[in-house]
C-alpha cells in the first residue's frame, strides 16, 4: 500500500509536462514495470486500460501516478528508460533543478529475435537456408522533444494535419462553408403564470455557445424568451429551410425541463409561458421525412434543461479514485419542475409535421445536460456546468476528436462536480449517427 505522498516538485513536473507525455507515451510498455515495482495494482492498471485509446490511457496513467507515493516518479523514469522511451525520461529529468537530477538508467534496446533457418522440403539434400538480414541498431540517440515551458491544460490542441479517419467513408462530409445552421433558443425570463423561476446565468451560456458555433463555421441564430408555440414555430421554420448548401444542422435549447412519456427521446423543454415541447417532437422537425434537404446529414441537438426533479447525491468512492473537489456553489440552481402529464406535452394535433410515430430517426444525436429524470445545475454567475464544460472542451479538442469522444469528456468532467457539496450531475446522449462527426475546428485558428 502506498502511504507516502509524491514530492510536490515531482508532481508539478508531471503536470507541466503532461501534454508531452500524453502525446508520446506508450503506456502499454510500462504497465509491467510499474506493477512489479508496486506502484500500481493490477486492478488499477486494468482501469487505466479501460479508459480508452492510447492517449486516454496515457493521460489517466500520468494523472494517477501523482497519487502513488514518493517512489512513483523515480520508478516511472526507470520504466521509461527500460522500454526505450528515454527521451521522455530526459524531458522530466531536465525539468528538475541540477542539484536534484539523478543519473538515468542506460537506454534499453530490445533485441530482435532472428528466426531459425528455413529449409525447403524439396531440397532434402541441399538444405538451402533462407536467412533474414541481421538487425541494424541506431548509432545516434533519439533527440528529445522540447519540454513544455509552462503548465498546460489536460486537453490540448495538436498540430492540425490530415486525418485518415476524416477522409474515410465512415466520416460525415463537412466541408461546406458555412457548414450549417445553428439555432439557439434561450429561455431566461418566465411568465408569472408558468410558476417557473427565471434562469439567471443562461445568457452567459448563450453567449458562449453563440461564439463557439460561429467559430466552428455555423450560421448562428439566437431566439430569446420563446413561448411554447413560438418554439414550435421556429423549429418548423428551420425544417422548411433549404439546407442543400449545408452539411449539417444544430439546435441548442436552454430552458427549464421536465420528464415526459416517450418512446424514443426522453424529456421536454418549457416555453416561458409554461407548456412544454417534448425533445422527441423537437427532433422530428428535422428528421429525414420532415426536412428532406437534411436527409443523410447529421442533426445535432444540445439540451441544457432538467430531465426531471430528482437530485443525485452520488455514491461514495475511495480516496484514490479520480474525483476532483466540487466546483458547485451554495447558490447553484436547477432547471427542473415536476413531471408533466403526457397530455400537456405530447399533443401534436396542431402540428401535422411533428408526429411521434415517424420511423426511427437516423443521423441524429441528442446531448442532454443531465441523465433523464434528474436535475441539471446552473450557476447564476458562471452559467451551467454542462455548457461551460462543453464550450471549453470544444475549444481545446475539437480539432482532434470526433463529437462522441468530446461528449464523453464532457460527461466525465461534469460528473466530478458537486453542487452545495452534495449533489451530482451526469450528462448523456442518445446517438443515432451513422458515421464519425468532426467539426471544422481548424477555422477558429485562422485570422
Print the domain residue range for 227.
165-445
3-state secondary structure of 119: strand
Q: What is the DSSP string of 327-387?
A: ---TT-EE-B-PPPPHHHHS--TT-GGG-TTSPPP-SEEEEESS-TTB--EEETTTEEHHH
**CA–CA separation, 386 and 207 (whole Å):** 14
Residue 396 host element (H or E): helix 385-397
Q: What is the DSSP string of 184-222?
A: EEE--S--GGGT----TTHHHHHHHHHHHHHHTTEEEEE
**Within this chain, do residues 82 and 175 fall inside the same structural domain, yes or no?**
no
DSSP annotation of 227 reads -
Residue 148 confidence (pLDDT): 40
**Within this chain, do residues 201 and 290 fall inside the same structural domain, yes or no?**
yes
| Nearest partner of 102 among 111, 112, 110, 94, judged by Cα | 94
- 393: in domain: yes
Length of the chain equals 447
DSSP annotation of 418 reads -
- pLDDT tens for 365-423 read 999 988 665 666 667 777 788 999 999 999 999 999 999 999 999 988 888 775 555 57
**Within this chain, do residues 177 and 44 fall inside the same structural domain, yes or no?**
no
Q: Which are the contacts of 444, defined by CB distance < 8 A and separation ≥ 6?
A: 215, 216, 395
Query: Which among 81, 182, 248, 256 is annotated as catalytic?
Result: 256
Residue 16 host element (H or E): helix 8-16
Q: How many domains does the chain have?
A: 2
How far from the centroid of its chain's Cα atoms is residue 146's Cα?
Answer: 28
**Within this chain, do residues 335 and 412 fall inside the same structural domain, yes or no?**
yes
275 and 342 Cβ atoms separated by less than 8 Å: no
From 66, 97, 128, give the residue that closes a domain: 97
User: C-alpha grid cell for residue 387?
Assistant: 455548457
From 97, 119, 136, give the residue that closes a domain: 97
**CA–CA separation, 126 and 377 (whole Å):** 80
- Residue 230 catalytic? no
- 289: in domain: yes
Query: Which among 79, 182, 291, 306 is annotated as catalytic?
Result: 306
| Nearest partner of 282 among 253, 308, 254, judged by Cα | 253
pLDDT per residue, tens digit, the chain (447 aa), is: 444 678 888 888 998 888 889 889 999 999 998 998 989 998 888 888 887 889 889 988 998 888 888 889 989 999 999 888 988 888 888 887 765 555 555 544 444 444 444 444 444 444 444 444 444 444 444 444 444 443 333 333 333 444 444 544 589 999 999 999 999 999 999 999 999 989 888 999 999 999 999 999 999 999 999 999 999 999 999 999 999 999 999 999 999 988 776 667 888 999 999 999 999 999 999 998 899 999 999 999 999 986 434 433 333 334 444 444 444 544 554 444 433 333 333 222 223 333 333 344 689 999 998 866 566 666 777 778 899 999 999 999 999 999 999 999 998 888 877 555 557 678 889 999 999 999 998 644 443
CATH number, domain containing residue 84: 1.10.533.10
Residue 102 confidence (pLDDT): 55
**Within this chain, do residues 383 and 258 fall inside the same structural domain, yes or no?**
yes
**Within this chain, do residues 214 and 342 fall inside the same structural domain, yes or no?**
yes
Distances from the Cα of 354 to the Cα of 143, 263, 291, angstroms: 61, 14, 11
Residue 116 confidence (pLDDT): 46
Residue 112 confidence (pLDDT): 43
**Within this chain, do residues 177 and 91 fall inside the same structural domain, yes or no?**
no
- Helix 72-82 crosses helix 54-65 at what angle (to 10 degrees)? 140
From 44, 66, 97, give the residue that closes a domain: 97
Residue 263 host element (H or E): none
297 and 331 Cβ atoms separated by less than 8 Å: no
**Within this chain, do residues 259 and 364 fall inside the same structural domain, yes or no?**
yes
- 152: in domain: no
**Within this chain, do residues 70 and 205 fall inside the same structural domain, yes or no?**
no
- 111: in domain: no
- 373: in domain: yes
- Residue 108 catalytic? no
**Within this chain, do residues 207 and 86 fall inside the same structural domain, yes or no?**
no
| Nearest partner of 250 among 346, 309, 182, judged by Cα | 182
- 350: in domain: yes
User: How much is the pTM?
Assistant: 0.54
CATH number, domain containing residue 211: 3.40.50.1460
Amino acid at each position: 500500500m502506498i502511504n507516502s505522498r509524491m514530492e510536490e516538485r515531482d508532481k508539478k513536473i508531471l503536470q507541466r509536462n503532461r501534454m508531452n507525455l500524453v502525446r508520446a507515451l506508450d503506456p502499454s510498455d510500462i504497465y509491467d514495470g510499474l506493477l512489479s515495482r508496486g506502484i500500481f495494482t493490477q486492478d488499477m492498471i486494468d482501469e487505466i486500460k479501460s479508459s480508452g485509446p492510447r492517449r486516454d490511457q496515457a493521460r489517466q496513467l500520468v494523472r494517477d501516478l501523482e497519487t502513488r507515493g514518493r517512489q512513483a516518479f523515480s520508478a516511472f523514469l526507470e520504466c521509461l528508460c527500460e522500454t526505450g522511451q528515454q527521451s521522455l525520461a530526459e524531458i522530466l529529468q531536465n525539468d528538475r533543478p541540477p542539484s536534484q537530477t539523478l543519473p538515468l538508467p542506460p537506454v534499453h534496446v530490445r533485441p530482435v529475435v532472428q528466426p531459425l533457418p528455413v529449409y525447403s522440403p524439396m531440397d532434402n539434400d541441399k538444405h538451402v537456408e533462407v536467412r533474414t538480414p541481421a538487425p541494424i541498431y541506431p548509432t545516434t540517440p533519439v533527440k528529445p522533444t522540447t519540454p513544455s515551458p509552462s503548465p498546460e491544460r489536460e486537453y490540448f490542441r495538436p498540430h492540425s494535419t490530415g486525418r485518415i479517419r476524416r477522409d474515410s467513408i465512415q466520416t460525415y462530409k463537412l466541408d461546406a462553408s458555412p457548414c450549417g445552421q445553428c439555432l439557439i433558443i434561450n429561455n431566461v425570463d418566465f411568465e408569472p403564470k408558468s410558476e417557473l423561476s427565471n434562469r439567471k446565468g443562461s445568457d452567459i451560456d448563450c453567449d458562449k455557445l453563440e461564439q463557439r458555433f460561429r467559430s466552428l463555421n455555423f450560421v448562428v441564430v439566437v431566439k430569446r424568451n420563446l413561448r411554447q408555440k413560438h418554439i414550435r414555430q421556429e423549429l418548423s421554420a428551420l425544417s422548411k429551410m433549404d439546407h442543400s448548401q449545408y452539411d449539417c444542422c444544430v439546435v441548442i435549447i436552454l430552458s427549464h425541463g421536465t420528464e415526459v412519456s416517450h418512446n424514443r427521446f426522453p424529456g421536454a423543454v418549457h416555453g416561458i409561458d409554461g407548456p412544454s415541447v417534448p425533445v422527441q417532437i423537437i427532433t422530428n422537425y428535422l428528421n429525414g421525412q420532415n426536412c428532406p434537404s437534411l436527409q443523410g446529414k447529421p442533426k445535432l441537438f444540445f439540451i441544457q434543461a432538467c430531465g426531471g426533479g430528482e437530485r443525485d447525491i452520488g455514491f461514495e468512492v475511495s480516496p484514490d479514485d479520480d474525483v476532483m473537489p466540487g466546483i458547485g456553489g451554495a447558490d447553484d440552481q436547477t432547471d427542473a419542475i415536476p413531471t408533466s402529464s403526457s397530455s400537456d406535452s405530447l399533443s401534436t394535433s396542431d402540428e401535422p409535421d411533428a408526429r411521434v410515430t415517424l420511423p426511427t430517426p437516423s443521423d441524429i444525436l441528442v446531448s442532454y445536460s443531465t441523465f433523464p429524470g434528474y436535475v441539471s445545475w446552473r450557476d447564476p454567475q458562471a452559467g451551467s456546468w454542462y455548457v461551460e464544460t462543453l464550450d471549453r472542451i470544444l475549444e481545446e479538442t475539437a480539432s482532434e476528436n470526433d463529437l462522441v469522444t468530446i461528449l464523453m469528456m464532457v460527461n466525465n468532467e461534469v460528473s466530478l462536480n458537486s453542487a452545495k457539496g452534495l449533489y451530482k450531475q451526469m450528462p448523456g446522449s442518445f446517438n443515432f449517427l451513422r458515421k464519425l462527426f468532426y467539426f471544422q475546428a481548424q477555422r477558429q485558428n485562422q485570422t
